[in-house]
Amino acid sequence: MTTPLNARRWINWGGNQQAIAADVLTPGTVDEVAAHVKDASGNGRKVKAVGSGHSFTAIAVANDQRMVLHRLNELISVNGDLVTVQAGMQLAKLNALLAEHGLAMPNLGDIDQQTVAGAISTGTHGTGEKHCTLASCVEGVTLVTGSGEMLTVGKDDEIFPATRIGLGALGVLVEVTLRCVPAFTLLADERPMALADVLAGLDEWIPSNDHVEFYWYPYTDRAQLKRNNRVGEHDRPLSPFRGWLDDEFLSNTVWEGVCRLGKALPAAVPTIQSVAARALTARTYTERSDRVFCTPRRVRFTEMEYEVPREALPEVLAALPRIIDGLPFKVQFPVEVRFTGPDDVWLSHGYGRESAYIAIHQYSGVAYEPYFRAMEAVCQPLGGRPHWGKLHYRTAGDLRPVYPKFDDFLAVRDRLDPARVFANEYLDRVLGA
C-alpha cells in the first residue's frame, strides 16, 4: 500500500485515510518551500505538508496542494549534543546518523518510519517516567509561516512551546534542532505475566526502570511486560536467528496470517488470543538504544491512543474487558500501555502531569468505530487527551478544557497563519475553523 510520493491520490499507512490532491509539491530546498507557500497565500489556496502517512487521523489529508518533504532529509550540523536536521528526514535515518556521531535520542516510540516533522508535530512519544514526547527534545525549529516567510524559533522565544507540537497548523517545519544524548545501550527484559501481577507491580517498576510498558491480550488474563534499562556494556546480544524469529517472522509474517484468520473467522479470535498469549516466551538482551525502542511493524492496523492522568489508569483498564465483551465484533490486537512524565509543550498530551497512555488497535479493514468510541467515552470524563495522530472523535469545544494553553496556541496560530493556508477539515474540527 505504498503511495508514490508524486501521486495525486494518497493513502495513509493504516489505509483509513485518503485524498486526491489538486497538485503535489516536492520542494528540494527551503527556499522552494517558502515560494510554494507564498504563492498559495497570494492565490487563496491551501498547502498541507505530509510526512510518512503514519497518522490515523485526517491530520495530513490534503485536498488542494499536498507538499511532500522527502527531499529535505539531510543533516545540517552537529554541535556537541545539539543536532540540526532537515525536517523531512525519517527517524530511521536520524537514528543511524546519530549513531555515527556517538549520539542517540534519549527516548523513542516503537516505530522509526515517521519523519522528524511528523513525529514531533503530532506528539509521538515513548515510555518512561523521566521522559515525555519527542517534542520535548526540540531546542529550536525553522518553519515557513502562512505568508511564506521563514521563521526561526528558539527556546527563549515566547511562541516556542507552541511550535514544538504544532499539528501542522502554524507552518511548514523545514529544520529542527534536537538535544540528544551520548549513545547508550539498553538491557531489554520482556516476559509474559498474569495481568494482575503486572498491575500489582507497576508502582514499583515505573520509578525503578528507565522504560516500562505492557501489552494485555483481550479475552485472556495474560500480559507481556517490557522493561528497558541503560547498561554500560553490550554483553547479551540477541542471536540473529532469535531476532528474526521474534521480530520478523512471528511479529509480522505469522501475525499477519493470524489476523487474516481472525478476520475470516471472528469466532476463533478469543482462542487465537489465548494461544498467542500463552505462546509468549521471555527474552533478555542488550542492543543499541534505538534498535530496542523501535521494531518493524508490517501488519497494518488502525489505532486510537488516549492519555489519561496516571491515577486514572485502573478505571480505564477495568472498563476495557466490559467494552470488548459487548462489541458486535472481535478485537484482534493487544492493548498497549505506556507511561511518561510531565511535559511543558502546550499541546502535548502529557502537559503538566504524570501520564498513562492506552493504545487500542484493530486489524486494517476490520470494524473499529464502536470500540474506539466506547474507549473515548471512558477516557474523556477522566480528563483524557487523545493522541493527535491516532483516531478520535473530539472537537475544539471539548478539547479546550483539558489543555490549559489551548487559547494561547490559537493566538499563535492567528499570528503565523491568519489566512489558514495550512488548514484542513481535521484542524478545523480540533482547533476551530
What pLDDT is attached to residue 249?
60
Mean pLDDT of 293-318: 95
What pLDDT is attached to residue 250?
65
Over 80: is that where the pLDDT of 252 sits? no
Give yes or no for a contact between 262 and 330, defined as CB atoms under 8 angstroms apart. yes
Mean pLDDT of 99-126: 96
| Domains of the chain with bracketed CATH | 75-182 (3.30.465.10), 185-386 (3.40.462.10)
Q: Which of 158-162, 255-259, 425-429 has the lowest mean pLDDT?
A: 255-259
Output 393-396 pairs: Cβ under 8 A, ≥24 positions apart.
394/430, 395/429, 395/430, 396/429, 396/430, 396/431, 396/432
Give yes or no for a contact between 114 and 387, defined as CB atoms under 8 angstroms apart. no
Counts of helices then strands in the chain (DSSP H, E): 14, 20
pLDDT in tens, 194-212: 999 999 999 999 999 999 9
Mean pLDDT of 24-33: 96
pTM of the model: 0.94
Residues of the chain with pLDDT > 90, as a percent, come to 85
Degrees (nearest 5) of the Cα angle 75, 86, 26?
Answer: 125
What pLDDT is attached to residue 251?
75
The residue with greater pLDDT, 253 or 73, is: 73
Over 70: is that where the pLDDT of 384 sits? yes
Mean pLDDT of 39-47: 96
Mean pLDDT of 428-432: 97
What pLDDT is attached to residue 87?
97
Mean pLDDT of 154-174: 97
φ/ψ of 425, rounded to 5, equals -65, -35
One-letter amino acid at 220 equals T
pLDDT in tens, 212-248: 999 999 999 999 999 999 999 988 887 776 776 667 7
Q: Quote the CA–CA distance of 169 and 409 in Å, as a whole number.
A: 10
What pLDDT is attached to residue 2?
55
What pLDDT is attached to residue 326?
96
Rounded-to-10 torsion of CA 127, 289, 123, 207: 20
Q: Quote the CA–CA distance of 58 and 201 in Å, as a whole number.
A: 38
Over 70: is that where the pLDDT of 3 sits? no
Mean pLDDT of the chain: 94
pLDDT in tens, 66-91: 999 999 999 999 999 999 999 999 99
Q: Which of 2-11, 68-77, 392-401 has the lowest mean pLDDT?
A: 2-11
In a 13 Å sphere around the CA of 250, the CA atoms on its Cβ side amount to: 12
Give yes or no for a contact between 142 and 29, defined as CB atoms under 8 angstroms apart. no
Question: In the block, which residue shows the cell 502546550?
Answer: 346
What pLDDT is attached to residue 309?
98
What pLDDT is attached to residue 245?
60
Burial state string for 60-97 with b = 16 or more CB within 10 A and e = fewer than 16: bbbebbbbbbbebbebeebeebebbbbbbbbbebbbeb
